[in-house]
Chain A
Amino acid sequence: MNQLIESAKDIFQNNKAAIIIGYTKDKSGRTKPFIAHNSDEAEKLTFNHHAVNNLAVYLTRLEKPKDGKIGIVAKGCDIRAINALIQENQIRRDDVLIIAMNCNGVVENQNEEFSKENTQIKCKYCQLRTPNNYDFLLGELEDFELPEDSQQELMNKLEAMTPEERWNFWESQFGNCIKCYACRQVCPLCYCEQCIVEKSMPQWIETSSTTRGNFSWNLIRAFHQAGRCIGCHECERVCPMDIPLTLLTRKMGMIAMKEFNYKHGMNINEPTLIGTYSTSDNEDFIK
């Protein structure tokens, strides 16, 4: 990825950014997040099919550098997260320098070679292959037909079930949750300073990892993503118990699309869905 290293060095040499959040390959060959602070460290930057992480999560976690912008290497889905953060007034466009990558799909398992079939679920219904908000655009977009979306099948299956069957499905899934909160920590849009599960007067959501406590945690987490989730699938990727968490957030996204024709993180000038209202919203279900 010489193109990326060159631009990164150029950014540091001309003081266009103070740090660059990107990916590197470690000694064991894992592609992982990395923060470059100067042009020497920029040498280590890379981008490949294993660059799965959504780096936008660092934009709200890192302290803002005093002497310049935060540079960030971003794929299409990461750009949606950055756009969403700008829409939600968490960061300012002027504070970030976006080095956009044309992405041809990513593979979750670091030991697997990229192929059309083994891409992450999000790539199977990728909604932003060509970044729409950037300072630099690198990489070549290969002609690539989206593979079959296997999650949609599961979604259809669930929707066809009776409520009781759906409850049983989720009861067994949520029963596995160990409450490590990796889903929250890895989510670029979970940026609350104090999460609702940490509020203890009263304790709205039980911290116990029992089925009941897990139900309320996962439901409320999904609800807080309603109309906001940008579909990067990080929560599901990091879940040590492999709970299909994105089914819930994707469902919320489908409703946003159906009811409001809205997709979050596509346009930084659009007001947020859940922060606004319309007098003509659907109210068929209200007596």
Chain B
Amino acid sequence: MNKKILGVFLLAVITVSSAWAQGRKGLRINEVLVTNEENFQDDYGCQSAWIEIFNTTFGSVDVRSCYLTNDKNNPRKYPIPKGDVLTEIPPRQHLLFWADDMPNRGTFHVNFKLDPEKDNWIGLYDANGRDLIDSVTVPAGIPADHSYARVEDGVGQWVIKGDKGSGYVTPSTNNVTLDKNEKIEMFETHDPFGVGMSVLAMLIVFTGLLLLYLLFRGIGQISVLVKKRNAMRVHGISDKDEAREKGLGRESGEIYAAIAMALYQHLEVHDVEDTILTINKVKKAYSPWNSKIYSLREVPNKK
């Protein structure tokens, strides 16, 4: 018994821990700006390099206890502090860290700087300091106030942003701004009368229920076969044709209902009752909320 409980407990722990890990695995380094001259300012009015983390999942993910680093040999360089509610990233949202080597300025100021003269490797490690969640190497020589960013949030290629045509630098906001629902617009353009959608959707509905039909037709046939075999054994019949003629295995529910009713009549309903009459006082649970219950009438029940 104890082993069983222990097994269930271990399974639960594994499930929960894997779910936890799965959430953090959805974090991505999304955009990095190394030389900040006239770009985003922190709460102190300073312009420093910044690193944006994006939560690609559809659930909130807390980055506390994870590590940010620019040193492959020191994965635990900046532990993201516990106890700050702002470390929780809402679904599909961002968090910005300032690479200003001023950790005493708060949770989001890391203890390293980025060097514009050389390639900067940045890594985000899980709370164990071993599992690398995401990393990026920001190439040297990116112009001031230009960022190195993913084309789309959390996925895709990296590009340099900041020039006309290459897209805007977008600290703490989406790299791609969605100002329309593309799916809806596609349907409006390509299927203005809804015929395509209707045909496609009905096809899927029919396919689903057709598959269910085929499957349960097969299961039903197997069930009838098993019942028939059992019935043949009980009736001592070995000839399949005879069994088919007698409809063995295909009895309707009505037959079983009739048998059940006959048994009930035989076993439960008596022509002569035992004539014991017991009168019990109606007991109703007392509570201060219904103390007047004896003087109230029953809830009306319209027949």
| A, B in one complex | no
